[in-house]
Amino acid sequence: MDQLTMKKMAAEAALQYVKADSIVGVGSGSTVNCFIEALATIKDKIKGAVTASKASEKLLKEQGIEVFSTNDVSSLDIYVDGADEINPQKMMIKGGGAALTREKIVAALAKTFICIVDSSKQVDVLGSTFALPIEVIPMARSQVARKLVALGGSPEYREGVITDNGNVILDIYNFKIMNPVEMEKELNNIAGVVTNGIFALRGADIIIVGTPNGAKIIK
C-alpha cells in the first residue's frame, strides 16, 4: 500500500472527532491536505476552520469552508495536524513545511490535538530520521546557528524559504532529542529563536496512524 493511501486513511478516520457546528483547527502539510479534502465532505455540518498556514487557508477556501482567524475564537474542540516524527509519548517534530510557529499557536487553542500520520513517521527517539526545524528572526540567523553547534547539532540554513511570519528556517541535523521537553524550552530561550519544531510541551492527545491494515487510533 502506498504512503498517500495510508495518509488518506488516517485523515478520514479523524472525521469521527469533528463535532457538529464547530470550528475545526487545521494544520498544514500533505497529510492535512488529505484531511481538508475529507472535511469538505461534511462542510455543511461545521461552522468553519482555523488554520495554521496560508497554504491550508487557500485549500480550505477552495473547498468552500469558511476560515476564521485565531483571534476570532477563544478555544477549539480539536486541532488536526500531521508530524514529521512522533514518538510513543505522543511528542513530535514538526516544521517540514515551515509552519511550525503558527501550528503551535493553533494547537495551544485546542482541547484535543489529533495527530494524523502514516506509519513511517513513528520513531522511538525524536531526531532519528528528520532534521529539527527552528524558525529564526533573520538578523539572528548566524548567532543562533553558532549556539546550535555548541549544543551538538549541525544547523543548515533552509535557503529560499521564508515563513508566513517573514522569518527564516534553520534545520538541525545529527540531533537526537533524548529529553524533548527540556530541549524545547532550552532552544526557545535562545535570543532570536521564534520557536522550534519540538512539540513536547503541547504534544498530541490522539494519534491516528495510517497503516497497510487500516487506520490505527492510539489514545
Statement to judge: residues 159 and 206 lie in one domain: no
Domain that holds residue 44: 3-122+201-218
Query: What pLDDT, on a 0 to 100 scale, did the predictor assign at position 40?
Result: 98
The stretch 108-122 carries a mean pLDDT of 97
**Does the pLDDT at position 91 exceed 90?**
yes
List residues forming the annotated binding site for substrate. 28-31, 81-84, 94-97, 121
Does residue 127 lie within any of the structural domains?
A: no
List residues forming the annotated binding site. 28-31, 81-84, 94-97, 121
Statement to judge: residues 175 and 205 lie in one domain: no
CB-based contact 104:169 (threshold 8 Å): no
Query: What pLDDT, on a 0 to 100 scale, did the predictor assign at position 134?
Result: 98
The enclosing domain of 19 has a CATH number of 3.40.50.1360
Q: What is the mean pLDDT of the chain?
A: 97
Q: Strand, helix or coil at 141?
A: helix
Does residue 80 lie within any of the structural domains?
A: yes
Torsion region of 117: left, alpha or beta (phi above 0 gives left; psi -120 to 50 gives alpha): beta
**Does the pLDDT at position 132 exceed 90?**
yes
The predicted-structure confidence for 159-193, as pLDDT tens digits, reads as follows 999 999 999 999 999 999 999 999 999 999 999 99
Statement to judge: residues 65 and 13 lie in one domain: yes
Residue with cell 513545511: 97
Query: What pLDDT, on a 0 to 100 scale, did the predictor assign at position 1?
Result: 79
Q: For residues 13 and 1, which has the higher predicted lDDT (pLDDT)?
A: 13
For the entire predicted model, the pTM comes to 0.96
Statement to judge: residues 191 and 214 lie in one domain: no
Statement to judge: residues 106 and 145 lie in one domain: no
Spatial separation of the C-alpha atoms in residues 171 and 157, rounded to whole Å: 6
The stretch 45-54 carries a mean pLDDT of 97
Query: What pLDDT, on a 0 to 100 scale, did the predictor assign at position 71?
Result: 97
Does residue 7 lie within any of the structural domains?
A: yes
Q: Which residues are catalytic?
A: 103
Spatial separation of the C-alpha atoms in residues 3 and 167, rounded to whole Å: 31
Query: What pLDDT, on a 0 to 100 scale, did the predictor assign at position 148?
Result: 97
The stretch 57-62 carries a mean pLDDT of 98
Residue 52's pLDDT band, with cuts at 50, 70 and 90, is very high
Spatial separation of the C-alpha atoms in residues 66 and 48, rounded to whole Å: 5
Residue with cell 498556514: 53
Residue 76's pLDDT band, with cuts at 50, 70 and 90, is very high
